């Protein structure tokens, strides 16, 4: 399939670079479905007659596979170019749903683990990093905004998948898709049909991205943009560092630590969002002022904050610098967590505002990471380095829930807790964020001994463009 080769996807002169963000978004909006698995969680528990953990683990497998595949396949993605890697991502993501559907129809849970978790998870990892370095090459003048746009799609994917999946499940179960149906739980066979529909639909939409992605020709730069006139900064390298060398630097592991701690702290809220808001506003009679439907609205608001933060904060980092924005995520996040822990229960508006800002920082840290890596290591293998960095996400996906659930289990039973029961969890998150803040302050420009020799770079450019 030669049309997938990098050499076949080099843009012709005059190509409009604003066609690249929709191609990248087509991939990220589809794989962002991973955040909407709660829509059919109860149905799968009933269908397989297993515990919440047995179904919840599907998401965990997918996120672990995301990090592993991004780390392992990152160099291949960089070498093969965005078109081939996006095609592989679309194939794995679509196939993951189809194998998962087979598991649902035949009532074999392991097939669902293999399909959605392992195969789909590989699609997630490759799809997540595929368009990122290409976007930064098209937008060297605004790399944070460019990656923010794409990675915003990963946050926004759930906003589409959640109502779409609910409407489809109702239709498959024979209900009016627009009906309320608050006490309805979809049948297992409907979830199977949903998986087939989503697998085919997502593959088709991702193929739009595959067909429309282009890499800039060697030496291309935006009209009127002169890299030599860009304000120089000690934190923005003019050298290029390979992925193998990047992981030998202290700065890589400090960024890894900052991302890991910020994501772990964000998961603290995301994991518990719905019960947390109900517990914070539970009266002395044991009843909460916030019912389940309103709590669902709060979860939706967090999704919008997560998505918006990816674009807004990452774009802001182009102006104020990556190090400062990470200090804001971690230092500002710690302050907001303290306010939330101590005063969140006194005002619904304050609680919601603090939570949304914290989640916007969570999303922002993901979206700013590729541009930060570009600043530190150059564009040479930034996609591969980004892949290795995403292992921080996998680690946080395990550590975050473990910390939150472990501390909350010691506080009481679900549905009986109040605001002060959350103090240990929230203050633990503050400590993590402060450590992350200190790690960020130690990030320095990479030593020139890690830079690639000019001759090697010229050779690789002439081979691969």
Binding site for another protein (CB under 8 A): 16, 18-19, 22-23, 25-26, 29, 153, 156, 158-160, 162-164, 205, 208, 212, 293-294, 296-298, 300-301, 303-304, 348-349, 352
Q: Which is nearer to another protein, 187 or 212 (CB)?
A: 212
CA distance 331 to 311: 20
Q: CB 274 → another protein: shortest distance, Å?
A: 12
Q: Which is nearer to another protein, 204 or 431 (CB)?
A: 204
Write out the DSSP string of 183-215.
T----HHHHHHHHHHHHHHHHHHHHHHHHH--B
Q: Are 74 and 385 in contact (CB under 8 A)?
A: yes
Q: Which is nearer to another protein, 306 or 381 (CB)?
A: 306
Q: Are 329 and 364 in contact (CB under 8 A)?
A: yes
Q: Which is nearer to another protein, 102 or 160 (CB)?
A: 160
Q: Which is nearer to another protein, 353 or 457 (CB)?
A: 353
Q: CB 157 → another protein: shortest distance, Å?
A: 8
* Residue closest to 5 by CA, chosen among 82, 89, 91: 82
* Residue closest to 17 by CA, chosen among 130, 153, 129, 135: 135
Tokens, residue 419: 């605001």
CA distance 120 to 98: 10
Residues in the chain: 465
Q: Which is nearer to another protein, 76 or 208 (CB)?
A: 208
Q: Which is nearer to another protein, 35 or 372 (CB)?
A: 35
Q: State the helix-helix crossing angle for 82-105 and 20-31, rounded to 10 degrees.
A: 20
Q: CB 19 → another protein: shortest distance, Å?
A: 6
Q: CB 413 → another protein: shortest distance, Å?
A: 25
- CA R_g for the chain: 22
* Residue closest to 168 by CA, chosen among 202, 134, 136, 135: 202
Q: Are 272 and 266 in contact (CB under 8 A)?
A: no
Q: CB 151 → another protein: shortest distance, Å?
A: 13
Q: What does residue 288 show for φ and ψ, rounded to 5 degrees? A: -95, 145
Residue with tokens 């009266």: 283
Q: CB 163 → another protein: shortest distance, Å?
A: 4
* Residue closest to 126 by CA, chosen among 79, 54, 66: 66
Q: CB 408 → another protein: shortest distance, Å?
A: 23
CB-based burial label for 41 (10 Å; 0-12, 13-18, 19+): middle
Q: Which is nearer to another protein, 215 or 327 (CB)?
A: 215
Q: CB 11 → another protein: shortest distance, Å?
A: 12
Q: Which is nearer to another protein, 205 or 418 (CB)?
A: 205
Q: Which is nearer to another protein, 160 or 196 (CB)?
A: 160
Q: CB 24 → another protein: shortest distance, Å?
A: 9
* Residue closest to 445 by CA, chosen among 365, 386, 367, 375: 375
CA distance 328 to 439: 13
The DSSP secondary-structure symbol of 61 reads H
Q: CB 367 → another protein: shortest distance, Å?
A: 15
| Contacting residues for 219 by C-beta, under 8 A, at least 6 apart | none
């Amino acid at each position: 399939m030669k049309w997938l080769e990098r050499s076949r996807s080099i843009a012709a002169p005059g190509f409009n670079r604003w066609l690249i963000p929709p191609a990248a978004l087509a991939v990220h909006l589809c794989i962002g479905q991973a955040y909407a698995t709660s829509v059919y969680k109860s149905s799968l528990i009933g269908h397989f007659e297993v515990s919440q953990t047995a179904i919840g683990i599907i998401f965990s497998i997918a996120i672990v596979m995301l990090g592993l595949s991004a780390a392992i396949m990152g160099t291949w993605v960089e070498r093969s170019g965005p078109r081939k890697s996006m095609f592989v991502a679309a194939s794995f993501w679509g196939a993951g749903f189809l194998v998962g559907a087979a598991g649902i129809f035949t009532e074999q849970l392991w097939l669902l683990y293999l399909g959605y978790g392992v195969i789909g998870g590989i699609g997630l990892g490759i799809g997540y990093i595929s368009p990122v370095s290409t976007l930064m090459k098209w937008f060297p003048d605004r790399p944070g905004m460019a990656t923010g746009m794409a990675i915003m799609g990963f946050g926004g994917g759930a906003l589409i998948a959640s109502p779409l999946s609910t409407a489809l499940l109702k239709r498959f179960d024979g209900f009016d898709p627009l009906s309320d149906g608050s006490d309805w739980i979809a049948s297992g066979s409907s979830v199977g049909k949903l998986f087939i529909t989503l697998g085919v639909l997502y593959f088709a939409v991702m193929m739009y991205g595959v067909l429309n992605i282009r890499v800039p020709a060697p030496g291309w730069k935006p009209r009127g943009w002169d890299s030599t006139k860009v304000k120089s900064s000690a934190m923005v390298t003019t050298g290029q560092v390979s992925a193998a060398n990047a992981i030998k630097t202290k700065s890589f592991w400090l960024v890894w630590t900052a991302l890991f701690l910020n994501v772990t702290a964000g998961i603290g809220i995301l994991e518990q969002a719905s019960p947390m808001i109900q517990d914070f506003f539970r009266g002395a009679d044991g009843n909460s002022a916030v019912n389940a439907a309103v709590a669902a609205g709060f979860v939706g608001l967090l999704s919008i904050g997560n998505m918006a933060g990816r674009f807004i904060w990452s774009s802001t980092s182009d102006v104020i610098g990556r190090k400062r924005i990470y200090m804001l995520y971690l230092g500002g996040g710690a302050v907001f967590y303290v306010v939330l822990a101590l005063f969140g229960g006194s005002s619904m508006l304050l609680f919601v505002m603090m939570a949304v800002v914290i989640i916007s920082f969570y999303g922002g840290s993901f979206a700013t990471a590729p541009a930060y890596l570009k600043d530190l290591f150059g564009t040479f293998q930034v996609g591969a380095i980004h892949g290795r960095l995403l292992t921080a996400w996998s680690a946080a996906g395990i550590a975050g829930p473990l910390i939150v659930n472990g501390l909350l289990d010691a506080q009481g039973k679900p549905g009986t807790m109040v605001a002060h029961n959350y103090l240990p969890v929230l203050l633990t998150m503050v400590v993590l964020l402060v450590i992350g803040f200190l790690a960020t302050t130690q990030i320095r420009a990479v030593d020139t001994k890690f830079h690639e020799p000019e001759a090697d770079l010229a050779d690789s450019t002439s081979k691969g463009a």
